[in-house]
Amino acid sequence: MTKRLILFRHGKSDWEAGYGRDRDRPVAERGITAAKTMGKLLAAAGQVPDLAITSSAVRARTTLELAAEAGGWSCPVEITDDLYEASVKQVLEVIYQVPDQHSSVMLVGHQPTWSDAITYFMGGGAVQMPTAVMACLEFEVTTWAKVEAGRGVLLWLLPPRLFV
């Protein structure tokens, strides 16, 4: 039995837009295009997750909404503050709360957390996660509670620029 974890970094944000707090920063036009591209790609590849959990930041939520709509996904979506400015430990805590009935979960969030998390799950190496990139890790575990350092195998890492 395996569990698959897809980490999706939010689309390019709009630094010029009017917003109050950092978490309210919207997605830029380029980020909108990239999110839609990635949503269609994931659907075409048959890799739509069973569950998607997104950071509460506007740019992360919007990225997920655009990707799901463009790809025609129908998986349940949860929003959490726990993925905004998160540490790898906080990401693990989110993962450990996922019901084991889900074999594939997407987390939508931010840098540098996603690069750090992939390195942690693989047990080393270095990965960079530009905006709107998706990475999929596979774990030979039966429950989400067994996901830990060094147990993940990176199956793919896809930047939208390859598909736009």
- Which residues touch 31 (CB under 8 Å, ≥6 apart)? 10, 11, 12, 13, 14, 59, 63, 131, 132
**Can you tell me the mean pLDDT for 123-135?**
95
Chain centroid offset of residue 62 CA: 12
Give CA–CA dist 129/18, Å, rounded: 26
List of E strands, the chain: 3-9, 51-55, 77-80, 104-109, 134-139, 152-158
Per-residue pLDDT, 25: 87
**Residue 43 pLDDT > 90, yes or no?**
yes
- Pairing type for strands 104-109 and 152-158 reads unpaired
Q: Which residue has the higher pLDDT, 14 or 127?
A: 127
Indicate the average pLDDT of the chain.
Answer: 95
Half-sphere exposure of 116 (CA within 13 A, CB side): 13
pLDDT of 22: 81
Tokens 């978490």 belong to which residue? Answer: 23
Looking at residue 18, what is its pLDDT?
67
Q: Residue 54: what pLDDT?
A: 98
**83-121 tens-digit pLDDT:** 999 999 999 999 999 999 999 999 999 999 999 999 999
Distances (CA, A) of 120 to 2, 127, 143: 18, 10, 18
Please, what are the domains in the chain?
3-162 (3.40.50.1240)
Q: Output the pLDDT for position 146.
A: 98
